[in-house]
Amino acid sequence: MAEAVLAIRDLCKSFGALRATENVSIDLVPGEIHALIGPNGAGKSTLIHQIAGTLKPDSGEIEFLGKPVSHIGAAERARMGLGRSFQVSSLAPEFSALRNVMLAVQSRQGTSFRFFKPVMRDAALVEPAMEALERAGLKDRARVPAAELSHGERRQLEIAIALALGSRAFLLDEPMAGMGPEGSKTLTSFLDGLRREAPILLVEHDMDAVFALADRISVLVYGRVIATGTVEEIRSDPEVRRAYLGGAE
């Protein structure tokens, strides 16, 4: 197996008496989609938050691109190439889709402390941003304020932003949520292609998508990884069926 892009070791996090993350070790290797599934409240989003740096773990190590990142902030991790989407879309609502993406481009290019050149006339910003929007299928909506986008379009925009960051790994928290069948199909094939650029840690409740996409699946229950394996292994794991999949799948 190739060298892991992202490696998490023995991560722990409690909220009071509640152990939201308990000795979690997971890794993400180039080219893969690693799905993280588990019941509601299992601690998936909490884990994503810790990896992204918006929540501080109680103990454990996070390594990204071979470097420990536990001590550095969210912004710096993002600049290193850790792209993420939020479970609930998180955008700059007054900015157009384009300007939302341009913000990521600007960050990737280095400094935000440039005071005089107008961004909208800066091809170095606009062009890569348009490209990312196009790849995410939002080119037509580039000038629409994020607040006026429909639910599905906002999810696409989150992806576009992560693309524009030139991310070396993606953390996607329920990107399919709220998408209709059509949107899910498009997004599934899009993610399928995206993994070649950078591996994806995918949190998702849409099992059709997970089974279609995942190279590996880890199952999180009550903060602990109870199983990791291929689609087939997980599908047939009786423990997983009981705790998560239930009768249907």
Partner 1 sequence: MSRETAINVVLALLLLAVPFIAMQLGKPFYVTLATRMAILGLAAIGLNIALGLGGLVSFGHAAFFGIGGYAAGILASHAFSGQPLDFGLFAVPGSKLMPVIWAVAIVAGGLLAAAIGSISLRTSGVYFIMITLAFAQMTYYFAISWPAYGGEDGLSITIRNTFPGVNTLVPQNYFLICYALLVVGLVLFALLRDSRFGAALQASRQNEVRVASVGIAPFRIKLVAFVISGMITGLAGALYADLNRFVSPSMLSWHMSGEFIVLIILGGVGRLCGPLAGAMLFVMLEYILGGLTERWQFFLGLLLLGVVLFARGGLIGLLAGRARHG
Partner 2 sequence: MKLLEIAGLETFYGASQALFGVDLDVAEGEVVALMGRNGMGKTTTIRSILAMTPARAGKVRLGGREIQAMRPHRIARLGIGLVPEGRRCFPNLTVAENLLAAARSGRWNLAEINRLFPRLEERRDQMARTLSGGEQQMLAIGRALMTNPRLLILDEATEGLAPVIRNDIWAVIRVLKAEGQSILIVDKTLSELLPSADRCVVLEKGATVWSGRPGELTPSLQDRYLGV
Site of interaction with ligand ATP (CB under 6 A)? 15, 18, 20, 38, 40-46, 87, 148, 150-152, 180
Minimum distance of partner 1 from residue 235's CB (angstroms): 33
Select from 82, 20, 29 the least CA-distant residue to 220: 20
> If binding is defined by CB under 8 A, does position 24 make contact with partner 1?
no
Taking the least distance from each CB to partner 2, the nearer of 88 and 120 is: 88
Minimum distance of partner 1 from residue 43's CB (angstroms): 19
Query: Can you tell me the distance from the alpha carbon of 41 to that of 223, in angstroms, rounded to the nearest whole number?
Result: 9
> If binding is defined by CB under 8 A, does position 106 make contact with partner 1?
yes
Bridge partner list, 6: 28, 64
Query: Can you tell me the distance from the alpha carbon of 164 to that of 215, in angstroms, rounded to the nearest whole number?
Result: 24
Taking the least distance from each CB to partner 1, the nearer of 84 and 141 is: 84
Select from 249, 242, 240 the least CA-distant residue to 209: 249
Out of 45, 85, 106, 156, name the contact with Mg ion by CB under 5 A. Answer: 45
Residue 49 near residue 20, CB atoms below 8 Å: no
First CA to last CA distance, the chain = 29
Residue 216 backbone dihedrals phi, psi, to 5 degrees: -135, 155
> If binding is defined by CB under 8 A, does position 148 make contact with partner 1?
no
Footprint of partner 2 on 201-220 (CB under 8 A): 205, 207
List of residues contacting partner 1 (CB under 8 A): 52, 54, 73-79, 84, 86, 90-96, 98-100, 102-104, 106-108, 111-120, 122, 125, 143, 145, 161, 165
